[in-house]
Structure 1
Amino acid sequence: MKTILVTGSNGLLGQKITEKILTEGRVNLIATAKGANRFPVNGGYEYAEMDILNAIQVKEVLVKYKPDAVIHTAAMTNVDTSEANKEWCYQLNVTATQNLVSLCEDQNIHFIHLSTDFVFDGADGPYLESDKPNPLSYYGETKLLAEVAVQKSNAAWTILRTVLVYGITHDMSRSNIVLWAKGALEKGGAINVVNDQWRTPTLAEDLAEACLLVAENNAKGIYHISGKDYMSIADLVRKVADYWLLDQSLILEVSSVSLNQIAKRPGKTGFILDKAIKELKYNPHSFEEGLKMVDEQLKRH
């Protein structure tokens, strides 16, 4: 059985990978994150504290556990924070990745890197893996720089780009578009939602499955991983309202420009999944199925 080391295991994707491995037992897991483990189950896998900005610590952990693959989920993902804290964003998204991939190269470890639809400008999505990136935000820029560093390395590498990930963590510490929309509509106040951005939202469980499929099958190269349903953010929020029987009249459609966000967002992204479906046998849930899974998990909380 392969041993997989995950960075950022306290995050949404990290927790879903842990959950999947504990339930299905397909690989051995070394979960790593900065600080204490926030996953509620401690048995069945190893946890190691690892700050991706601490090069010495990262090397010690990799040498100790000698994983077959590293799934690198840790990153600064808040687009506006990235724009406001460029140096910190660069350290987390570029420097840490360069360091990790070079250690993987030295130790013959398969490096699986998580990236984003924000490497594209959104002029004509949905996108194929072969389409040319052109990021609009500093966040997108750093993720593209990290991709380039990965591709230039001599490590065995895979880049998984994804779109608008949603789901729930055990400690409810991370929000996302679905939880935000549900929570805001339940409060009964009007919310502004953009109607000029289009995405293929991704269920965190589906992305976790794709990560494991890549590790297990030694798949190399770039893969686009997301949900299969293409919709505007306004449509997405309407579907959330519809599912939880919330008041759709509270949803006010606005243009991206009117929100005055620090960072520019791409208009139409979303992914064409043919390559992942064919080569990885990736089979994502529909958006409605994803909402049902989130609902069942919320009921258990």
Structure 2
Amino acid sequence: MKKILVTGSNGLLGQKLTERILAQNDFELIATSKGANRYTTKEGYTYASMDIADRESVEEVINTYLPDVVINTAAMTNVDTCEIEKDLCWQLNVTAVANLIAACAPHHIQLIHLSTDFIFDGADGPYLEDAEPNPLSYYGESKLAAEKLLEESNIHWTILRTIIVYGIVNDMSRSNIVLWAKGALEKGAPINVVDDQWRMPTLAEDLAEICLLAAAKGAQGIYNASGKDMMSIVELVEQVADFYQLDKSLIQSISTASLDQTAKRPVKTGFILDKSINELGYQPHSFLEGLKIMDQQISARKTN
């Protein structure tokens, strides 16, 4: 049984990985995050506090547990905050990866790293794995820099690029677009949503699954790891409204330019998933299927 260490285990993807590993019992899990463990179940795995930005903390934990695989889900992902707090962004998105590479190298540990569609400028999506990156934001620059560190290293590395991850767990540090849209529309609040950006939203369960497929198969290289449905952001929100039978007249279409955001966003990203499907056996859900899965989890939480 492979031993997997997950960074950022308190986050959405981190908790989904814990949930999936505990349910299937096919890996030994060491969950790590900065501070206390926020996952509901405390048994069946090991939890260790680890600060990925601190080289000594990373090396101490990895040297103690000697995992076969590290899955790095930890990152600073707020695009506008990254544009403002560049030093912190670099520390969490690049220095942290350098720390993990240094700790994994002596033990021949596979490092699976989560990256993003924001390494592209959105002029020519959807993208293959070997498309030429051209980030528009500091967040995108930091994630591309981390990819380059991995590619130039001599460790066993895997990069999984994803897009707009959505889902629900018990203790969430931040929301996501599906929960935000649902919550606002349920309150009857009008919302402004951009109609000139296109993405392929990713169910957190699907992303957790491809992480573990990459671990089980010892995959090497870059893989696209998004949902399979391309849609504009306003279409995404309208589908949430339709699913929950909420008032779509509250959704106001606006242009990206009118938001005057700190960081630039790519217009149309999206990924071609053939490599992940053929080599890893990745089978992402449709967006509607994802909403159904999420809704079942929301209902289950209400009854518990």
- TM-score class, shorter: over 0.9
Task: Name the residue aligned to 2:232.
Answer: 232
1: CA distance, partners of 2:189 / 2:169: 25
Given that residues 34 and 51 in structure 1 are in contact (C-alpha distance below 8 angstroms), is that contact kept between their aligned partners in structure 2? Answer: yes
Is the deviation greater in 160-169 or in 183-192? 183-192
Runs of 4+ with >3 A deviation:
none
The residue type equivalent to 1:187 in the other structure is K
Task: Name the residue aligned to 1:19.
Answer: 19
Task: Name the residue aligned to 1:63.
Answer: 63
Task: Name the residue aligned to 1:51.
Answer: 51
Given that residues 16 and 208 in structure 2 are in contact (C-alpha distance below 8 angstroms), is that contact kept between their aligned partners in structure 1? Answer: yes
TM-score, normalising length: structure 2? 0.98
Helix, strand or coil at the partner of 1:184: helix
Q: How many residues align?
A: 301
How much does 1:55 deviate?
A: 1.1
Task: Name the residue aligned to 2:208.
Answer: 208
The residue type equivalent to 1:44 in the other structure is G
TM-score, normalising length: structure 1? 0.99
Task: Name the residue aligned to 2:255.
Answer: 255
Report sequence identity in percent.
Answer: 65
Q: Is residue 78 of structure 1 aligned with residue 78 of structure 2?
A: yes
Structure 1: give runs of 5+ residues left out of the alignment. Answer: none
Q: Is residue 109 of structure 1 aligned with residue 109 of structure 2?
A: yes
Task: Name the residue aligned to 2:10.
Answer: 10
The residue type equivalent to 1:213 in the other structure is L
How much does 1:162 deviate?
A: 0.2
How much does 1:174 deviate?
A: 2.4
Helix, strand or coil at the partner of 1:111: strand
The residue type equivalent to 2:108 in the other structure is N
How much does 1:103 deviate?
A: 1.5
How much does 1:107 deviate?
A: 1.7
1:177-199 Cα deviation digits (max 9, x unpaired): 10011011111121110011100
Helix, strand or coil at the partner of 2:235: helix
1:129-171 Cα deviation digits (max 9, x unpaired): 0100000000000000000001100000000000000001211
1: CA distance, partners of 2:105 / 2:267: 36
Given that residues 102 and 155 in structure 1 are in contact (C-alpha distance below 8 angstroms), is that contact kept between their aligned partners in structure 2? Answer: no
1: CA distance, partners of 2:53 / 2:91: 7
How much does 1:8 deviate?
A: 0.2
The residue type equivalent to 2:162 in the other structure is T
Is the deviation greater in 129-138 or in 182-191? 182-191
2: CA distance, partners of 1:35 / 1:172: 15
How much does 1:218 deviate?
A: 0.3
Task: Name the residue aligned to 2:149.
Answer: 149
Task: Name the residue aligned to 1:135.
Answer: 135
Given that residues 82 and 89 in structure 1 are in contact (C-alpha distance below 8 angstroms), is that contact kept between their aligned partners in structure 2? Answer: yes
Task: Name the residue aligned to 1:30.
Answer: 30
Given that residues 12 and 172 in structure 2 are in contact (C-alpha distance below 8 angstroms), is that contact kept between their aligned partners in structure 1? Answer: no
1: CA distance, partners of 2:135 / 2:172: 30
The residue type equivalent to 2:132 in the other structure is K
How much does 1:293 deviate?
A: 0.9
1:188-229 Cα deviation digits (max 9, x unpaired): 121110011100100000000000000000011000001100
Given that residues 109 and 155 in structure 2 are in contact (C-alpha distance below 8 angstroms), is that contact kept between their aligned partners in structure 1? Answer: yes
Helix, strand or coil at the partner of 1:300: helix
1: CA distance, partners of 2:223 / 2:20: 20
Q: Is residue 94 of structure 1 aligned with residue 102 of structure 2?
A: no
Task: Name the residue aligned to 1:182.
Answer: 182
Is the deviation greater in 101-110 or in 240-249? 101-110
The residue type equivalent to 2:134 in the other structure is N
Given that residues 168 and 174 in structure 1 are in contact (C-alpha distance below 8 angstroms), is that contact kept between their aligned partners in structure 2? Answer: no
Helix, strand or coil at the partner of 1:149: helix
2: CA distance, partners of 1:139 / 1:185: 29
